[in-house]
Structure 1
């Protein structure tokens, strides 16, 4: 269905969080007959918005008969394809799409789409920061901030930087990225992909679908899984790889301590010591953002300034302060093992590591080497910490269980000595003890202030 206006067409929206409520507002504006349905309770502020807009909605269950009347359904990314209601819709040949796909129909803005297992939020935030400071009329949406649909309905941006997860990509069909960025592919969320890495990788590569020779695809030439998929795939877009291991003619690479970007005739150079984001993984993130800026022909001075003064997002290697010479870092956004690996990799002192939560079938073996080198004690923060004990009992002297952010901060503080770093980088989801990773991070920060 390609009609641009939804005159009285029935549209059902599954999930009444940020993306669902934003989609409802845009759909209303476009004349659709909107019905929002959430399997769980709807948060008060979203409920208030839906009521203010006179949108029909339900919570704590789906009325199947009502949803099956829809001509099309917009699904929130958190709802898996194997949910009974989604299966039912598919059986009835009712198209199920993502909020990004839906909202993309109603804007002619240029789309800069960033995906990957790790570094998406940082790279999207940095790219937005560079483009905005470079004078572009740009919005930031997707997995981050105000929903894309709501911004399409209320703003007039000429560019969007979108942080896109594999779950969103799975329900995107006609949407096209003008500039697509794929940072890396590492095992995450495999429970949604039949525990097959190739299924998850194929999902990530949907970021390139519908691209033409006029578009750009930016990717990491050092990432094994990305390279594996690219061998058997025809990519129509102009390819701009980045690497810290080898020289790249068109793209980005490292020349001793200098980050070099060559795009067409445009050349950019900056010392990695001047980058706001430090650590090997952040060189990759800065390269990806820098290539986007050069494709859009931003000035080198403006780029240098933005890449040097960027402040990282909350809960991602966020410095919480120092107490008695001990640094505290909140990396609550590290909900998988890879993110924690990156965090440990960027540490330059001895670490007391706070780990744990809801384990998505984690393989902790990739952390063993770094834990041996850098971690003097592990503080577990979760309901069931057995797998952490099993994984690291031979590598660290002390592993302690705690059951609240306050207790974890206190125990870690007592285990650390002057010059050490207490790092909250849990490698797990937070739902056993907290509402979400933000709640976990904030409780940790509050606890540190109380020490």
Structure 2
């Protein structure tokens, strides 16, 4: 069997290693450059590879192709593979054939990283031998090759779910759905929603789907489509018989006639969206039979995720907050919504078809100045030019932070929450967040 891996990043290299271990003839091809640390791993494992090109003769003879999530379906090599009817799958799908461990799969437009890390924290503190993979950390395939864990919490993007045929999580979580990555779904929101719901398509009556019952896109889809999994909703507004809800500033989760109670002010994470993330993670922990005392303790000592509403420093009584992970409008909505002081907002990057209208009330209420940080800021200027008093365009993080510092007064917050992808000026949202932190530290 010939396995061709497209993409030499984390998921590609992990798949190549697992494929080789399972006796496939493996070839890896990346149209860009492969990072040196990954090259070393490929050489060490004697896996043939190429970079900055796709040699068709070495690719179109595959029995199966694992396509990295970052490669769009419209790329020429993918089109040619489809013409030849060569199966194209995701890393999760490939790795899953070689294991029967229990997985918790978590997807959503926002909150999935926090929910994934929090869920992993709860299960690990509860004594389970549990791994963390998917869109985060070391790839699932690589970890399956090493065979260390009895269960996994997987953060799954819509791109990873696009390549799923048979994979099913025992517990699936959909944190929320809002327009994102529409450039990859022909600007058709319904295609993106369908991609998210692939997480439950192979589930059976013995499996669970945990979801946000306040989310219109989710409840609308569920009202029109039948699923086999047991539904476990969570909500900030409704009282639920089965699932998680809020009463008197307290989270109640009721699962299989077992009730768990936790006052909101004891959560280590702040903000309404994190109450939802905590509800989702708690529900998973209850379904996995983790002790209530452990859940309570873990919810109160969890350290948040880097680049997600991360408090960097307070300088001259101005708080600097790094929310570089906010790569879409909905994530920035949560960030602005959690601001309690006048805010200088650093925003911009590669726009993925953003509609800034939903941010308007929050910007009017909370934002005193906007610093644009992108190659093309025209949409942001058009949206908010008349709403804030001051608006400045910048093209480097150091400049953006210096200007923000000048605009901020005692008691204000400087918030980096870009609402856009980072690839115009940065390598990744992590690179963007690190540059922000460095710039703040050198003020």
Asked whether 1:276 is paired with 2:297, we answer no
Q: CA deviation at 1:396?
A: 0.7
CA distance in 2, matches of 1:66, 1:393: 52
| Aligned-partner SS, 1:249 | coil
Summarize deviations over 1:101-150 as a string: whole Å, max 9, x none. Answer: 00111111101000001111010011001111111100000000000100
Residue 29 (structure 2) aligned to one of 31, 37, 42: 37
Residue 23 (structure 1) aligned to one of 15, 18, 28: 15
Q: CA deviation at 1:324?
A: 0.7
Equivalent in the alignment of 1:252: 244
Residue 443 (structure 1) aligned to one of 409, 419, 435: 435
CA distance in 2, matches of 1:360, 1:239: 32
Equivalent in the alignment of 1:298: 290
Asked whether 1:179 is paired with 2:199, we answer no
Name structure 2 gaps, 5 residues minimum: none
Equivalent in the alignment of 1:146: 138
Q: CA deviation at 1:196?
A: 1.1
Equivalent in the alignment of 1:226: 218
Summarize deviations over 1:41-97 as a string: whole Å, max 9, x none. Answer: 111111111111110001111111111111101110011111111111111111100
Asked whether 1:88 is paired with 2:80, we answer yes
Equivalent in the alignment of 1:363: 355
Greater CA deviation, 77-86 or 166-175? 77-86
CA distance in 1, matches of 2:375, 2:58: 39
**TM-score computed with the length of structure 2 as normaliser:** 0.99
CA RMSD of aligned residues (A): 0.8
Q: CA deviation at 1:156?
A: 2.1
Asked whether 1:106 is paired with 2:65, we answer no
Q: CA deviation at 1:384?
A: 1.5
Asked whether 1:194 is paired with 2:186, we answer yes
Residue 406 (structure 1) aligned to one of 381, 394, 398: 398
Q: CA deviation at 1:319?
A: 0.8
Q: CA deviation at 1:347?
A: 1.1
Residue 204 (structure 2) aligned to one of 207, 212, 228: 212
CA distance in 2, matches of 1:256, 1:206: 35
Residue 130 (structure 1) aligned to one of 115, 122, 129: 122
Q: CA deviation at 1:155?
A: 3.2
Summarize deviations over 1:377-434 as a string: whole Å, max 9, x none. Answer: 0111111112111110121100011111111111111111111110000001111111
Residue 53 (structure 2) aligned to one of 61, 76, 84: 61
Asked whether 1:341 is paired with 2:366, we answer no
CA distance in 1, matches of 2:382, 2:187: 22
Asked whether 1:311 is paired with 2:303, we answer yes
Summarize deviations over 1:334-390 as a string: whole Å, max 9, x none. Answer: 111111001011111111100011111211111110000001101111111121111
CA distance in 2, matches of 1:189, 1:295: 32
Name structure 1 gaps, 5 residues minimum: 1-8
Residue 71 (structure 2) aligned to one of 79, 83, 92: 79
CA distance in 2, matches of 1:321, 1:393: 29
CA distance in 1, matches of 2:159, 2:356: 24
Equivalent in the alignment of 2:320: 328
| Aligned-partner SS, 1:65 | helix
Greater CA deviation, 393-402 or 16-25? 393-402
Summarize deviations over 1:208-231 as a string: whole Å, max 9, x none. Answer: 011111100000100000011111
Residues 354-393 of structure 1 mapped to structure 2, 5 A cutoff: 354-393=346-385
CA distance in 1, matches of 2:364, 2:14: 46
Aligned residues: 443
CA distance in 2, matches of 1:100, 1:449: 39
| Aligned-partner SS, 2:133 | strand
| Aligned-partner SS, 2:197 | helix
Q: Which runs of 4+ in 1 moved over 4 A?
A: none
